[in-house]
Amino acid sequence: MNEALELTAVSKAFVGHVAVDALSLVVPRGCVFGLLGPNGAGKTTTLRMVMNVLAPDSGQIRILGAAADGPARDRIGYLPEERGLYPRMAVESQLAFFAELKGLPRREALTRMGPWLERLGLTAWRKRPLNELSKGMQQKVQLIATLLYEPEVLILDEPMSGLDPVGADLIRDVLLEQARQGRTVILSSHQMDMVERLCERVALVHRGRLLLEGSVGEVKRQHRSERVAFEVESGDASFLGQLPGVLSASVLGARVELELDSGERARDVLRAATERLALRRFERVEPSLHEIFVQRVTLASKAAA
């Protein structure tokens, strides 16, 4: 079986609210997979059902080709959105404690944590209680606790929470390394730029239902925009907004971005620009995951209203 995680028609309702509605989803092994959606879309509820924090009302969950029972879940490392650490316990002690809960001997846990603490800049804080660390440093400790017993699947809910850009890039490198080693990384995040740089595949859920799923490249091709951009070396580009087929024009310094009524207009616009301007670059503009996210969620919300 090539699936790290498979959900088939999984549903979960609370009093007066359906959080997850017959959700079916397949996550291949060895990839970085982004589970996306607005607040209240059902992402965290879905992850909690995978980890048996919540029981599904209906449907089936399989982990690494097996039923989602205790042994299967022991092969998953789970980093919840909320802090799951003890504020007054020393970093070293609680990392060892969580590793022991997963069956890793304390001596082995202490050996393994050394390189991780060094890599994430926490060696000097090893003997300190958690409440003396910043939020970003606490998030790094929680990630180490997730990685220490070397699970086959990592499920991370907002893993970059509290991290500065340097720390976020460091964690991104760690997660990519885990994927290169054959592990599956499933993350839920609102940081679309990070998801775009990190994930191979994404799924977007809204009101508990799947809106789209596929590789990042496939999703972008399905939502191709009719926009082009110029980098102008010299000349007045204001006339571009008046050309036939140009719906809107945006100028930011030397960069001009145009929205066209069809992709066939791009050649005519480029010809007109090269006749009157010195250009450094011309390109078609791909929609970002952020733009696709907003577009699909907005359309789904209007359809449901």
* Residues 172 and 254 occupy one common structural domain: no
Last residue of a domain, one of 172, 190, 221: 221
Strand 227-234 with 58-63, pairing: unpaired
Instruction: Express each pLDDT in 25-36 by its tens digit.
Output: 999 999 999 999
Q: Answer yes or no: is 26 within a domain.
A: yes
* Residues 113 and 213 occupy one common structural domain: yes
pLDDT score, position 195: 87
Residue 245 belongs to domain with CATH number: 3.30.70
Separation in Å, CA 297 to CA 134, 141, 300: 34, 34, 5
Instruction: Express each pLDDT in 143-172 by its tens digit.
Output: 999 999 999 999 999 898 888 989 999 999
Q: What is the DSSP string of 275-287?
A: HH-EEEEEEEPPP
The pTM score is: 0.84
pLDDT band at 193 (very low <50, low <70, confident <90, very high): confident
How far is 271 from 274, CA to CA, in rounded Å?
A: 5
Instruction: Express each pLDDT in 111-147 by its tens digit.
Output: 999 999 999 999 999 999 999 999 999 999 999 999 9
Chain-centre distance of CA 55, in angstroms?
24
- pLDDT average, residue stretch 163-182: 92
239's CB contacts (< 8 A; 6+ apart) are: 272, 276
Q: Answer yes or no: is 112 within a domain.
A: yes
CA nearest neighbour of 180 among 196, 160, 200: 200
pLDDT score, position 305: 66
Strand 32-36 with 201-206, pairing: parallel
How far is 304 from 302, CA to CA, in rounded Å?
A: 5
* Residues 184 and 264 occupy one common structural domain: no
Instruction: Select the more confidently predicted residue: 285 or 139.
Output: 139
Domain count, the chain: 2
Q: Burial, 271: exposed, middle or buried (Cβ in 10 Å; 0-12, 13-18, 19+)? A: exposed
DSSP for residue 124: G
User: Residue 64: helix, strand or coil by DSSP?
Assistant: coil
- pLDDT average, residue stretch 277-298: 85
* Residues 244 and 106 occupy one common structural domain: no
pLDDT score, position 106: 94
Using a pLDDT cut of 90, give the percent of the chain over it: 52
* Residues 267 and 136 occupy one common structural domain: no
Residue 10 belongs to domain with CATH number: 3.40.50.300
Provide the 10 A C-beta neighbour count for residue 248: 10
pLDDT score, position 213: 93
Last residue of a domain, one of 188, 221, 254: 221
* Residues 181 and 97 occupy one common structural domain: yes
184's CB contacts (< 8 A; 6+ apart) are: 4, 5, 27, 28, 29, 30, 31, 33, 152, 153, 154
pLDDT(304) > 90: no
pLDDT score, position 236: 83
* Residues 279 and 205 occupy one common structural domain: no
* Residues 125 and 210 occupy one common structural domain: yes
Tokens of 147: 């990685």
Q: Answer yes or no: is 305 within a domain.
A: no
9's CB contacts (< 8 A; 6+ apart) are: 22, 23, 24, 58, 59, 60
Q: Answer yes or no: is 15 within a domain.
A: yes
* Residues 230 and 251 occupy one common structural domain: yes
Q: Answer yes or no: is 262 within a domain.
A: yes
Instruction: Express each pLDDT in 205-230 by its tens digit.
Output: 999 999 999 999 888 888 877 888 88
pLDDT(1) > 70: no
* Residues 246 and 160 occupy one common structural domain: no
Instruction: Express each pLDDT in 63-87 by its tens digit.
Output: 998 888 778 888 899 998 887 789 9
pLDDT band at 280 (very low <50, low <70, confident <90, very high): confident
Average pLDDT, the chain: 89
Q: Burial, 32: exposed, middle or buried (Cβ in 10 Å; 0-12, 13-18, 19+)? A: buried
How far is 46 from 43, CA to CA, in rounded Å?
A: 5
* Residues 277 and 130 occupy one common structural domain: no
Q: Answer yes or no: is 290 within a domain.
A: no
Q: Answer yes or no: is 293 within a domain.
A: no
Domain containing residue 55: 3-221
* Residues 275 and 253 occupy one common structural domain: yes
Q: Answer yes or no: is 291 within a domain.
A: no
Instruction: Express each pLDDT in 230-250 by its tens digit.
Output: 888 888 888 888 888 888 888
